[in-house]
Amino acid sequence: MSVLEDRYRSILRILPASYRDSWEDDMVATFLESVRTGDPDEDEFVADYGRPPWSEVASVVALALRLRLGGTEAPPRAFARGEAVRLVALIGLMVNAVTATVGGGVMLWVAGRLPWLPSPPEGTGLAVWHLAGLLWIPAFAALLFHHRQAAQLLALGALVPAAVISAVELAGGAAPFTVATWFALLTEVLVVLALGAFHRDAPPAPRRPWLIAYAVGVAVMPPVVFLAQPIGGQLLLDWAGICSIAAVVAAVAYLAMPGRRSPAWSLALALVAAIVLAQRILTLLDYRMFADGPERSTLTVLGVVETVAVLAATAVLAALAARTMRELPDGSADAGTRASPPGENALPVRPVKTPGRGGSA
């Protein structure tokens, strides 16, 4: 096996095993033919040192996404997995859009454009990345109005400036390193990646319920953020705490409605709860670095309580998701038409020995 073939086969490993059983050898043969130049020396060089072009790698990645995070025509388990990741993307996108909307309101307030509100306190900064962060709003809208590629680009446009500015601030010493900041960036990266589950075969997101959820979020967030301000000089609730409470409330509400559960929602909520749990645990480090005295002890105790609550919610949701996903058919039984080798009765074979024209027409 040439180095090039080995490299191409290693890329194909991202495809599901059942699919590879059926198509891998054929894909490799077609790929190797496609890179052949006709010049024996050059072909030998490419075989020994060549790498699959990025366009070929991208096409395999796109295929793996479609197969693993299934669309409407995928087997039930792959479809549920795809729906779960799409729900995670929608939840993340909605939270970012709500935060951006409320953040935009704060910007107008700071700029004095909302004269009916009392003036903001002195020294409230206007960070540039808030402007880029506003792109989460059209990204969310684009997805709900079925422009998935525009949504992906806009989300990337919101993420990249935030990442660059955070890195510059950290490198220049303008901002201290906080786990909270970097975890927020990580979750934005996860949202952008999860948007990849909205591929060509994915069903569109239902617009109305997500718009209602967005409106509720915009209405609820300002009072929640207000409550999270330091009380008597002491901070009791940070962003990770708000997310923890929201995750636990969502989990309890979901578990209380057995009739409305689905494997995809169970898995999506389990994934979101796991992300919130990681955020809660890791941001406890910020307390150790930046809080002091009684505030540190209070925040740590509250943080541990939140951690335990989110851990319990994650465990219950994960168990429910694992059980219900296992019960779904994974499609391997009927993969004969889609994903098993022709030699094993997958594709109906009519032996035609003569090369060239087959008598199919």
Partner 1 sequence: MTDPAFFILTALVDEPRHGYGIVGEVAELSLGRVQLKVGTLYGVLDRLVGEGLVELDREEVQQGRLRRYYRLTEPGYQALAAEADRQAANARAASQRLRAWRPANAGGTA
Report helix, strand and coil shares of the chain as percent, to nearest 5: 70, 0, 30
Least distance in angstroms from the C-beta of 277 to partner 1 = 35
Least distance in angstroms from the C-beta of 343 to partner 1 = 8
Which of 173/359 has CB closer to partner 1?
359
CA distances from 333 to 63, 201, 306, 339 (A): 21, 22, 43, 10
Least distance in angstroms from the C-beta of 12 to partner 1 = 9
Which of 112/204 has CB closer to partner 1?
204
231 forms bridges with which residues in the sheet?
A: 234
Residue 55 in the binding site for partner 1 (CB under 8 A): yes
Least distance in angstroms from the C-beta of 60 to partner 1 = 4
Residue 59 in the binding site for partner 1 (CB under 8 A): yes
Nearest CA among 81, 83, 211 for reference residue 143: 211
- State the Cα–Cα distance between residues 4 and 52, nearest whole angstrom: 7
Which of 280/338 has CB closer to partner 1?
338
60, 139, 159, 325: residue in contact with partner 1 (rule CB under 8 A): 60
Q: Is there a contact between 77 and 325 (Cβ–Cβ < 8 Å)? A: yes
46, 63, 179, 325: residue in contact with partner 1 (rule CB under 8 A): 63
CA distances from 139 to 16, 92, 156, 161, 270 (A): 30, 11, 9, 15, 24
Which range, of 63-71, 95-103, 263-271, 318-326, touches partner 1 by CB under 8 A? Answer: 63-71
Which of 50/105 has CB closer to partner 1?
50
Count of chain residues binding partner 1 (CB under 8 A):
42
Nearest CA among 66, 60, 124, 129 for reference residue 338: 66
Which range, of 22-30, 112-120, 205-213, 245-253, touches partner 1 by CB under 8 A? Answer: 22-30
User: Footprint of partner 1 on residues 339-358 (CB under 8 A)?
Assistant: 339, 342-343, 347-353, 355-358
Give ∠ CA 147-64-50 in degrees, rounded to 5.
Answer: 115
Q: How many CB atoms lie within 10 A of CB 306?
A: 25
Residues forming contacts to partner 1 in the complex (CB under 8 A) are 19, 22-23, 25-27, 29-34, 55-56, 58-63, 66-67, 73, 200, 337-339, 342-343, 347-353, 355-358, 360-361
